[in-house]
Every structure is written in C-alpha cells, then in structure tokens.
Structure 1
Amino acid sequence: MNTEINRHSMKKLRPQEKYHAKTFTDTSMTSSVYWVLLMDPECGNEKGLASNIRTKALDSIQNSNSHLQVKDTANFISLGKSLLTHLKEGEESKWSRMTFFSLREDKLYRVIQKSRTKANENIYSNVIAASIPNIRITNLDKPVIISYNLINQIATKPQCVYWDQSPGQDPRWSTKGCITSEYVPGEKVLCSCNHLTSFALQMIEEKNIHFISNVGCGISFVFLVLTVIFHVSFKNLRKLMTSKILVCLCISLAVSNLIFLVGMQEYATTKPAACKAVAALIHYFLMTSLMWMSVEVLHVCLHAAVISETVQRSFMIRSSILAWGLPMIIVSFTLAINYTNNYIRIEQTCWLSAVPFYTALVAPMGIILIFNVFIFSIDFWYLMMLQTNTTLKLETKRTRILGIVGVFVLFSAAWILAFFSFGETDEVFTFLFAIFNLLQGMFVFFYYCIYTKNTRDVIFSCVHKRKEENTRENDTYNKSSTTRERTDVLIAETIT
C-alpha cells in the first residue's frame, strides 16, 4: 500500500508538531486491507487522516481517547519534528508530500525477502517505509520510532533492520543506524532509527542453541525412564514406599521433558490449539513434579517420626490424589478463566501469559517452597536427634534428605532458567537450562539407582542370588553327570 499525504489533506494538521503513521490489517475484511493514519497526538482529541487501500480515499478522523492507541494487530511508525531541520529553505512544501509504504506479499517484498544473507534469518514483519521525494534523510537528532506487533510470531531474537541500497554494493538488510529500543517477547518490538527508508523486523532463529536444549531434554528423559525401569523391575524395590514416590516423581519429570522436547517444535507451536495444549501440559507436569517432591519430603518426616504402618499404607493413596489432582484443578481453572489468552505462544515457546504465570505457577511454587523449607527444618531436627539404635538408620535418613534436596535444586534451577530463556538473553539461559536439565536426569539415575544403600543391597542381593542359582545348577549338573557315569559303569559290568 502506498499512501501520499498531499497539501490539501494536511491543511487541518500542524507540520511543526509530531505525527504518527500507523499501518494495520483490518481483520473485518475478507482480504487484507492496509491503512495509514497520520496523527497529531498533542491535540486534546487526536485527529488525523486515514487512507483505505481499496478506495484510496482520505478521510478526516478524530480519536476521543487521550492516549495513542492502536489495534492489537497494528504496526506503526512515529516521526519527530526534528525531521523539518533536514529540509532546506523553500523545501517545506515537500513535507506535505511525504510518502508511506506498507509492503507485504507483493513482488517487491518477495524480492527483498529473497536477498537475505543468511539462511536462518527471516523477515517476520511488514516492510514499513517513510520517505520524502528526492530528499535523503539521515542522522536525525530524534530517531524514527517503528513499532512491530509480535502476536502469532514464532521466531526468536528480533533485530531491527532497514533496506540498504548504498551505491557500490548489493542491496541488503542492514542494522546501521537502527537499534532495538524495546522488546516484549510475544507482544511487540520498538525500533529506533536515525534515518528514513524501508524498515522491517528481522528474526534470527537460534537453531544451534535449541538443538542443545533438545539434546539436554532427551538425555534427561532417558535417564529418568531408566530410573523408573530399574525401580519397577526389582520386587524388593517395588514394595518400598520410597521407590513408589520416586517412580511417580520420575514419571512426572520425564513427561515434562518429553512434552518440552516434542511440543516445542514448529509443527506444534504454529497451531494455536496444539500450542495451548502443550503449554497446559507443561504447566500441569511441572506442578505435579513439585508436588511429588513435597510428598517425598513429607514422607521422610513421617518415616522419621515412626508413624504406624496403617498411616504409611494410606499415605500413598492420599498423596497420589493430592499430587495428581491439585495441579489438575489449577490448570483447569487457568483454562476456564481465559482460554484464549492464558496459554499463548511466546516466540517459539508455548507458555503462560504474564498474569497466570505469576498467579497459577509462581504463587503455588512459592507456597510449595515454603512448605518444603518448613518440613526440611523438621527433618533436620529429627536428624540431629536421631540415635544410631533407632529403627531408621542415620545413613538412610541423611541419604534421602540429600537426594530430594539435590533433585529439588536441579529441578528449580533448570526450569527457572527456562523461564528466563524467553527473554533477549535466551542463548545463555537456554544453554544453562540444557545443562541443569541434563544434570537433573543423570543425578536422579546415579543417586537413586547406584549410590543409595537400598539399591546397592538389591543389586548385591540379585548378584548373590544369581551366583547361588548358577552354583546349584552346576552342582545339579555335576551330580547328574556322576550318576549317569555310575549307571553306565554298572550296566557295562552287568553285560560283561
């Protein structure tokens, strides 16, 4: 769309003030309709001009709102009055012939898009342009502000660029004179540029760092599954309450990793329904993982207090209902309150929007953390009071506490880093998330399958039992062989 604001249409506005040109898609139309709006925000009631690409008619408009507001799907460009200082004497009339462009899915846009220099860099916005015929505007005192809406965008790392057609070099996207002044993931990007030209938003997909994140999740998932298989395979471990809780915790952690690994790919994040499902499932299994950690902490305390076996047997049933059910209630309420906006896509990630992130995740996590600290305090008090001749051995008690502390610290570190990875410094946090998530899976496997006394005893018992079985089989075979030899000798003697 090309809209030229002529002298007649500008007569109601004051060129010495600050004007805004806005472009957006009118979603009420069956096909894309782009508008340009020139505003004077310093008026009590904003007034300006609107142009329709179909009719090319200019209409005077007024905005009764006191603040400059645009539709959610809008992009806009803001021009400061310092622009006038670049007009020579006698050229003021050219201000009224300023031209605005909004280019999308046309021949020129496709040509520009094909000329990008790197395969992993793409233009994810309209090309917005503002120019004055036959005048080159550079080195502005107050920069041109271009705002881009990021709703439904899937790429990461925004970068403000302009179309550089400098003599002596091939046309290309360049960042010279443009900076990213504000970035709100999943919402908007503000670009500041000191010249007039064609502007766009370039998104760089960090494929390598996402590959590292996927590898970390995959390896962690494998170790967690191996831990479940190990504790389910041995009868002596299956009947232990500690192993039952650990299996539930590992299942929850493993499913979280699996959903993150499979659900954060482009084929899922580009579909709104699938993206909401992925975000809700990750939310649910993160909450269940925290709940099962609390169950283990509470069970250590109950075991230390030597609670009756009847209470111990009912503990698992009650814990299962609470650990699997409470997160389900939280997620269901989050979906029911605002199905459309509570689970959204932020860059390439499906996740909670700002308000439910704090109310439905951070707040419950804080409550669980306070609960765990309180129970840990009781556990450590029992640990200090514990005598060597009590039913619960001191070594076992210390091992269980250290184990759950290790899992909780690694889990918290990994997913806190995952939350931070949604921002501009996502490379560092994503890498650290991959490392801590990998360490979490490895820690669970080696600590609970190799290091702890219960598992070592089971392994040694199985090895010893297998040796005894082999010994008995060998003895039986030897006895059988000896009996056959004696029988053969007797038969031979009888024949002779």
Structure 2
Amino acid sequence: MVEEKQKHNATVLQISKEALQMAVKGKNETIFVVAVVKDRLLFQDKHNSSISNEIIAIDMGVSISNLKEPISMTFYHSDSQSPYNTTISASTLKSLTYISYIGCGISFFFLAVVLFMHTMLRRAKSDTSTTILINLCAALSLLNLTFLMNEWLSSMGNQVICNIIAATMHYSLLCTFTWFGIKAFYFYYLIIKLSTTEIKKIWMKMGAVGWGMPAVVVIILGGLKKYGEYKIYKEEGGTVSMCWITDPVVHYITNIGYYALVFSFTVVIFIVVSVKIFHMRKSNPRSAEGSKKNAFTLLGLACVLGITWGVMFFNVGPLQVPSFYVFTILNSLQGFFIFLWYYNSSSAAKAIDQPSEKSSHSGISNTTHCNPYDSTASKS
C-alpha cells in the first residue's frame, strides 16, 4: 500500500496480491515505481485546459493484464471550496466561452464608440445624468477589456501578471456595480426633486465613491494575497484557468453580497420609475402611440441600472446552466444596449420628464431639473 498525504487531501494506492505475484513471477525480486506528477501544465491541450489534479503512474517492470483483483486507488479530498469552484460540462463551457468573447468584444466596441462620441463629438456641456452614464461606460469598458485579456495572460504562467489582471478586473467589476447604484441614486434625486445646487454638491462625493471605494477594497485584498489562479472544472475532467479571486468568502462578500445591496436599491427605483411611466400613459391619451418607446425606456432602465445582473441569483440546481446562458448573453452585450440607449436618449427622455413638466405649470416648484437620460435640461 502506498499513501500520499497533502494539506487538504490524501491518496491511498492498494496493489492487489495477484498483481504482485505476476510482477515477481520468474524473478528473484521486483521493483515497482509509483510516480506522482504535480505539474499539470505538462498535459495542457490546444485549448489551454489541463488535468484537474495530479497524475499517478505505476510501473512494475512487466506488462500486467486480465487481473481478477483490481488495483485500488482511493482519493480523499476536502470540499471546503467546492461551492466556489464551478463544475460544468465541456460543451457548455465551450458555448459560454464563445458567447462571452463575442459578446464582450461587441460590447467593448460599442462602449468605445459611446466614449468617443461623448469626448470628441459632443460640444455641449454634459449634465449629471450623462456624466454618470459615461462613467458607467468607462467602468464596463475596463471590465470587458480585462475579461478578454484574462485567459491569454493567465496562460503565461506568471503569478505577478495574473495577480494584476485579477485585481484590475475585480476593480472594474466593483466600479460597475457602484455606478449602477449611483445611477439609481440619481433617479432618486429626480423623484424627491432636489435642487440643481444640491445635486452638484452630492456629485463630487459620487465621483469619489464610484472610483475610490473599489480601489480601497482591491488594494486591501491585494495586500492579503486574495488574487491568483481560479479554476473552472469540467465534468469530463480537466480544468480551464483564469486570473480571479481565490478565496470564496471574499467572492461572496465583495461581489455577491455587494451586488445584492445595489440590486435591492436599483430594483426599488426601477419599480417607482416604471409606475410613473404607466401612470403617465393612462393620464395622457397621446402617449398611447409611444408604448414602444416606453418599453424601450424600461429596457434601457433595466440595463443602465444593472438589473440584468440579478440573473446570477438563479444560479442554483436545475436553473444553473440556463441562468449561465441568460446571464452571459444579456451582460456580455450590455455595452451594445447602452450604446442604443445613449443614441436614442433624447426621444426616450420624454417619457420620463412629462410628469415634472406638469408640476412646473402648477407653480409649486421653481427648480431646474435635468433629464435622467438627456443632456438637455427641462426647466420648470
């Protein structure tokens, strides 16, 4: 019996008496070798996938076959990180990978177009809503870019590069979540009708929170060495690696937990704004012909508030694989949806601002409110 123990697992190899008798037959003695190969990169294929664990080889000096008593290998391992390390079929992984790369490539292109249009072609000064949207585009652009580069940089086998790309991708993800929340907070400002002066004062703090708070989190996690190689396991065997968070607790707190808080707030704002749109349609007969625009408005709202990311909460049981596909398709194309929203923002904004225009004629308010989607302010 040969036994190998590690920190989190053990391997017990039992060679049957029959196999030993066949090995020593006709010999005074026999030497058998058990080799454990730990460098899994030696067995990578053209898709950069590798064997899930160590490779065990047994050489007894002779060819042995037709054993009645098998050679037994027992593997003991810890399941402490099994919920975090995902296991899916090779075909599903391949499909999701193609969808992700194509979608993220399209998304990055259109986000770059939005940033170019805003920076180079826009002459008028941007309002707060547009500025928030542009910051969200910048965060999403960085997220898509780091994702597209991740597997290539991971295949280099350089730990420092892997840590940097993992930290950068995590930073861009946290920034994206934060700007979702800031966008929702801006809608809240429109609902309670703060003055323009008040929102400008708040905006300075928004910018610091949007880019500064994620940086603090990532720096702390980097100091604690929480970034490195993350493995996706195939059901058929083998793994695909990427550079990401290595501690499941950190992932659940900083990503799942943080997004759950942002999601709760953005959903409430989404419902309130949706109700206002439907009330406007009922009170104004002329708005019936704009039902398609209202539907587009709601779809755009869900996109810029990051509601579509909520699909991750259905990643359990039989819904796991379908949720992977829905999540991948919706969010890898998010940049394209934002481009359409940005391009059509002028017409979409009218569906939101009509209630505030009515209140302006009542003489209750004498405040200037900015459209949530357009650069043109609606004066009341």
Query: Structure 1 length as normaliser, TM-score?
Result: 0.51
Superposed CA offset, 1:110-158 (max 9, x none): xx97xx9x85588757652236565436576785236899xxxxxxxxx
User: Is the Cα–Cα contact under 8 Å of residues 343 and 351 in structure 1 kept in the other structure?
Assistant: yes
- Aligned-pair distance for 1:215? 2.7
Aligned to 1:310: 197
Aligned to 2:307: 409
CA distance 1:301–1:431, change in 2 (3 Å): closer
Distance of 2:156 and 2:324 partners within structure 1: 18
Aligned to 2:334: 440
Q: Which amino acid aligns with 2:127?
A: L
User: Structure 1, unaligned stretches of length 5 or more?
Assistant: 1-18, 23-68, 106-111, 150-182, 190-202, 457-496
Aligned to 2:373: none
Q: Which amino acid aligns with 1:272?
A: Q
CA distance 1:350–1:412, change in 2 (3 Å): farther
- Aligned-pair distance for 1:441? 1.7
- Aligned-pair distance for 1:312? 2.0
Name the SS of the counterpart of 2:142 in structure 1.
helix
Aligned to 1:224: 111
Distance of 2:337 and 2:71 partners within structure 1: 54
Name the SS of the counterpart of 1:260 in structure 2.
helix
Aligned to 1:343: 227
Name the SS of the counterpart of 1:235 in structure 2.
coil
Distance of 1:455 and 1:384 partners within structure 2: 14
Is it true that 1:331 corresponds to 2:233 in the alignment? no
Aligned to 1:145: 74
Aligned to 1:369: 263
Aligned to 2:56: 128
User: Is the Cα–Cα contact under 8 Å of residues 297 and 348 in structure 2 kept in the other structure?
Assistant: no
- Aligned-pair distance for 1:269? 5.1
Distance of 2:189 and 2:199 partners within structure 1: 8
Aligned to 1:70: 6
Superposed CA offset, 1:190-226 (max 9, x none): xxxxxxxxxxxxx99x888645533322111011111
Distance of 1:326 and 1:436 partners within structure 2: 26
Aligned to 2:182: 295
Q: How does 1:174-185 map to 2 (within 5 A)?
A: none
- Aligned-pair distance for 1:449? 0.9
Is it true that 1:100 corresponds to 2:28 in the alignment? no
Higher strand content, 1 or 2: 1
Distance of 1:294 and 1:452 partners within structure 2: 23
Q: How does 1:17-32 map to 2 (within 5 A)?
A: 19-22=1-4
Distance of 2:326 and 2:126 partners within structure 1: 37
Aligned to 2:372: none
Is it true that 1:254 corresponds to 2:152 in the alignment? no
- Aligned-pair distance for 1:100? 2.9
CA distance 1:144–1:400, change in 2 (3 Å): same
Distance of 1:432 and 1:383 partners within structure 2: 27
Name the SS of the counterpart of 2:57 in structure 1.
strand
Aligned to 2:344: 450
Distance of 1:403 and 1:377 partners within structure 2: 13
Distance of 1:411 and 1:252 partners within structure 2: 15
Q: Which amino acid aligns with 1:443?
A: F
Name the SS of the counterpart of 1:265 in structure 2.
helix
Q: Which amino acid aligns with 2:300?
A: G
- Aligned-pair distance for 1:260? 1.1
Give the number of the structure with larger relative contact order, counting CA–CA contacts within 8 Å between residues 6 or more apart: 2
Name the SS of the counterpart of 1:136 in structure 2.
coil
Q: How many residues align?
A: 318
- Aligned-pair distance for 1:247? 0.3
Distance of 2:152 and 2:18 partners within structure 1: 49
- Aligned-pair distance for 1:97? 5.7
CA distance 1:139–1:229, change in 2 (3 Å): farther
Aligned to 1:29: none
- Aligned-pair distance for 1:297? 1.0
Superposed CA offset, 1:301-324 (max 9, x none): 211222111112223211111111
CA distance 1:228–1:71, change in 2 (3 Å): same
Q: Which amino acid aligns with 2:33?
A: F
- Aligned-pair distance for 1:275? 0.7
User: Is the Cα–Cα contact under 8 Å of residues 30 and 60 in structure 2 kept in the other structure?
Assistant: yes
- Aligned-pair distance for 1:239? 2.2
User: Structure 2, unaligned stretches of length 5 or more?
Assistant: 232-240, 285-289, 351-380
User: Is the Cα–Cα contact under 8 Å of residues 224 and 254 in structure 1 kept in the other structure?
Assistant: yes
Superposed CA RMSD: 4.9
User: Is the Cα–Cα contact under 8 Å of residues 86 and 137 in structure 1 kept in the other structure?
Assistant: no
User: Is the Cα–Cα contact under 8 Å of residues 33 and 60 in structure 2 kept in the other structure?
Assistant: no
Name the SS of the counterpart of 2:74 in structure 1.
strand
- Aligned-pair distance for 1:235? 3.1
Q: How does 1:158-237 map to 2 (within 5 A)?
A: 210=97, 212-232=99-119, 233-236=121-124
- Aligned-pair distance for 1:293? 1.0
Higher helix content, 1 or 2: 2
Query: Structure 2 length as normaliser, TM-score?
Result: 0.65
Is it true that 1:352 corresponds to 2:245 in the alignment? yes
Q: How does 1:426-437 map to 2 (within 5 A)?
A: 435-437=329-331
- Aligned-pair distance for 1:429? 8.0
Distance of 2:206 and 2:258 partners within structure 1: 17
CA distance 1:254–1:406, change in 2 (3 Å): same
Q: Which amino acid aligns with 2:32?
A: T
CA distance 1:450–1:121, change in 2 (3 Å): closer
Distance of 2:72 and 2:161 partners within structure 1: 40
- Aligned-pair distance for 1:270? 1.5
Q: Which amino acid aligns with 1:102?
A: A
Name the SS of the counterpart of 2:33 in structure 1.
strand
User: Is the Cα–Cα contact under 8 Å of residues 30 and 61 in structure 2 kept in the other structure?
Assistant: yes
User: Is the Cα–Cα contact under 8 Å of residues 100 and 131 in structure 1 kept in the other structure?
Assistant: yes
